[in-house]
Amino acid sequence: MHRVIRRIGDASARRPWLTIGLWTLLAVLVIGLAGTAGGRFADDLVAPGSQSERAMELLQERFPQAAGGSAKAVFAAPEGERLDRYRPAIQAALARIADAEDVAAVADPFATGTVSRDGRIGYAEVTFDRPSAGLGPEPVKAITGALEPVRAAGAVAEVGGDAAFINAETETSGTEAAGLLAALVVLLVVFGTVVAALVPIVIAMVTVATGLSGIALLAHAMDVTSAATSVGMLIGLGVGIDYALFVVARYRQNRTAGQDNRAALSNAMASAGSAVLFAGGAVVVAMSALLLTGLGLLASVGLGAALVVLFAVATALTLLPALLSLLGDRIDAGRLVRRRSPAERTEDGAWWRLAHRVSGRPWPYLLGASALLLTLAAPALWMQTGYPDAGDDRTSTTHRRAYDLLAEGFGPGHNAPLLLVADLRRPGVTAQTIPDLTGRLAADPGIAAVGPPRTSPQGDAVVVPAIPTSAPADAETSRTLERVRDLAPANVAVSGMTAMTDDLTRQLDKTLPIFIAAILATSFLLLMVLFRAVVVPLKAAVMNLLSIGAAYGVVVAVFQWGWCADLFGLDGTYAIASPLPTIFFAVLFGLSMDYEVFLLSRIRESYDATGDSTESVARGLAGTGRVITSAALIMTVVFLGFVAHPSPLVKMLGLGLSTAILLDATVVRMLLVPATMALLGKANWWLPRWLDRRLPHLTDPATEPFPDTLAPAPAPADR
């Protein structure tokens, strides 16, 4: 495989302008197609085989008028006034809403009685001709604009409900630009020259532009959640910069060791380029494993992220060598600090001494690092998951203000309506016994109100709305849902947004162990084939689990328990969004494998050349420690930029990812890896002969060892 990657890099370097031209053409084509043929983003919240899915399918088949999405235009008079004073303005707004695109019907709150007891708050039910998940933000924006007469009259007018929450436009906070700027500063410190620092930034920008455009095209073929772009942006910036950083760093090390530009680039592609391919493959495998959850929401996130990583690998293996070939000696242009001699390089100093210090006393470092990670992971044992609702969003959004007004005027359960759908063609409840069903519903202590039944045009389906007494994310609402489903006959299925998200959370809880096992098994096999060892991949899996567990614990402590809430700009405490633990695991395991592959590849090179386990670990850490730490710092600052985002969900994602990456690249790679490898010695590379004969060779054993770019280190006795 090293030979193949070397040839790809050499071909790109020999014809740099052709390579750059092809990438320019590809980028223009993909971005142009995304603008013209890209699909709409839609959140597929359906859990396959669930009651909520059966109910929605029945509605779409028998009662399409009741299957459309819905929103609420919420009105509130100033304190001490009644809403009927603003009735002319409200009716003018309702007339404008009725003329909006995709609106099937709008109800007058004064005619339907949807006005609070004190007469100050009311809402108009808006029904669309399509399900909420497929609407997009434009219809919601149209309704928001149609409410202007009410605001001009002096009353409050907001848009809430399921359709408004699901299709709210994603706010931008400039975090991407801030992350890129911080990454540039780190790269300037690492490389010391402006040109060398700008090259990874250029590669990352090409990766993100083409990758996100690819996600937009993917939305044309399947339902893709808008969260896929946020995750794709995070991963694209991180791996795009990191992969280029590793190749450029190895290329400059080779040049410093006396190799000419062509040989230095060719050897860098064969070594670091091969590591990029395997590391990217690990991330793609981890993200693609989200398909195993069976949920369209997570499947689209996984496929979108995998697509971005594929672009990152492709740019690093083709576009990057073309750029480096054109730059030549100009890679060192714009020097900010003086060039250091080989004897002054930190790779031969601090990291070498650290590796020998850890190897000399492995047990204290092993126990201390493990205790730190386990302590940070402890809060994860009390993790409570739930799907976020409009009440978890920012008060600056219209759907959050509508949520608060509905809870104030009608109770918190008004934001968590349930929908019972009866199939009258099947045995169970009949048209005559529907009143008995509504009576049993109304008698449940968790149900605040039961709406009038609606019968389909053919008379073969009945819809009964019910309003719980508690909020959507409240645990009591889930218990009420269970009781309602228990008392409903076999031909009745319960749906509604609250029921759908509850089913989604249950599905995630069931599939998470399968998902984790699949990632662990696949990653183990990949590392075993790559490094031809059994112990190394087992150790990598355990260490990755430790860093991921620590990230879970930090997220629980901050968001669920409220520790340091003011520091992160949080208004209160939040349940952990149920899709996040799964997304966290996929992203973090894949990215952790990046550093594992880069470090172990360098260790394996030295071990193959010397056969000395201790020295190979020291030389591997000395050769990659500074670069891995810098790469992790870049990815950490990119992810931390998203902690400044106004959305708590994005904050949660940014904090969890940045915490895990920082711990993985420092505590795990710099302390745990050398400590465990020192204790295990040659057992690290043990592989049964029968297995060695059966495993495919991904590397080229016949090739000579790569030139060692580190200056000879002094022996321990000479220090």
Tokens, residue 469? 């007494």
CA angle 165, 166, 172 (to 5 degrees): 80
Q: Is 653 helix (H, G, I), strand (E, B) or coil?
A: helix
Query: Average of pLDDT values for 57-84?
Result: 90
Query: Average of pLDDT values for 493-501?
Result: 90
- Choice between 557 and 278, residue whose per-residue pLDDT is larger: 557
Query: Is there a contact between 584 and 554 (Cβ–Cβ < 8 Å)?
Result: no
Query: Average of pLDDT values for 328-355?
Result: 68
Query: Average of pLDDT values for 209-237?
Result: 88
Nearest to 241 by CA among 183, 295, 196, 298: 183
pLDDT the model gives residue 2: 74
Please state, in angstroms and rounded to a whole number, the distance separating the CA atoms of residues 217 and 224: 10
Question: Any idea what DSSP says for residue 193?
Answer: B
Domains and CATH numbers, the chain: 1-37+175-331 (1.20.1640.10), 70-166 (3.30.70), 349-387+500-697 (1.20.1640.10), 418-495 (3.30.70.920)
Q: What is the pTM of this model?
A: 0.84
Phi-psi domain of 713 (left: phi exceeds 0; alpha: psi -120 through 50; beta: other): beta
Strands (E), 306-439: 385-386, 418-423
- Choice between 63 and 18, residue whose per-residue pLDDT is larger: 18
Q: Which helix (H) or strand (E) holds 122?
A: strand 121-128
Please state, in angstroms and rounded to a whole number, the distance separating the CA atoms of residues 378 and 397: 35
Q: In this model, does residue 609 exceed pLDDT 60?
A: yes
Half-sphere exposure of 83 (CA within 13 A, CB side): 24
Query: Average of pLDDT values for 181-208?
Result: 89
Q: In this model, does residue 282 exceed pLDDT 60?
A: yes
Nearest to 503 by CA among 164, 48, 165, 42: 48
Tokens, residue 190? 């690492």
Q: In this model, does residue 124 exceed pLDDT 50?
A: yes
Please state, in angstroms and rounded to a whole number, the distance separating the CA atoms of residues 349 and 345: 7
pLDDT digit string, tens, across residues 377-405: 999 999 988 888 888 888 888 999 999 99
Please state, in angstroms and rounded to a whole number, the distance separating the CA atoms of residues 643 and 651: 4
Q: Are strands 492-495 and 385-386 parallel, antiparallel or unpaired?
A: unpaired
Please state, in angstroms and rounded to a whole number, the distance separating the CA atoms of residues 321 and 49: 49
pLDDT band for position 175 (cuts 50, 70, 90): low
Helix ranges (H only) for 378-466 are 398-410, 434-443
pLDDT digit string, tens, across residues 551-569: 999 999 999 999 988 888 8
pLDDT band for position 701 (cuts 50, 70, 90): very low
Q: Which residues pair with 422 in a beta bridge?
A: 462, 492
Residue 606 has φ and ψ, to the nearest 5°, of -65, -40
* Mean of the per-residue pLDDT values of the chain: 86
To the nearest 10°, the Cα dihedral for 539, 541, 546, 547? Answer: 110
Helices 137-146, 87-98: crossing angle, 10 deg rounding: 150
Please state, in angstroms and rounded to a whole number, the distance separating the CA atoms of residues 615 and 607: 8
Q: Which amino acid is at 518?
A: A
Q: In this model, does residue 153 exceed pLDDT 70?
A: yes
Query: Is there a contact between 494 and 488 (Cβ–Cβ < 8 Å)?
Result: yes
Nearest to 275 by CA among 40, 9, 599: 599
Tokens, residue 572? 């209160």
Half-sphere exposure of 283 (CA within 13 A, CB side): 33
Q: Which amino acid is at 392?
A: D
Question: Any idea what DSSP says for residue 135?
Answer: T
Tokens, residue 154? 């002096």
Q: In this model, does residue 719 exceed pLDDT 50?
A: no
pLDDT the model gives residue 584: 86
Tell me how many helices (H) and strands (E) the chain has.
28, 11
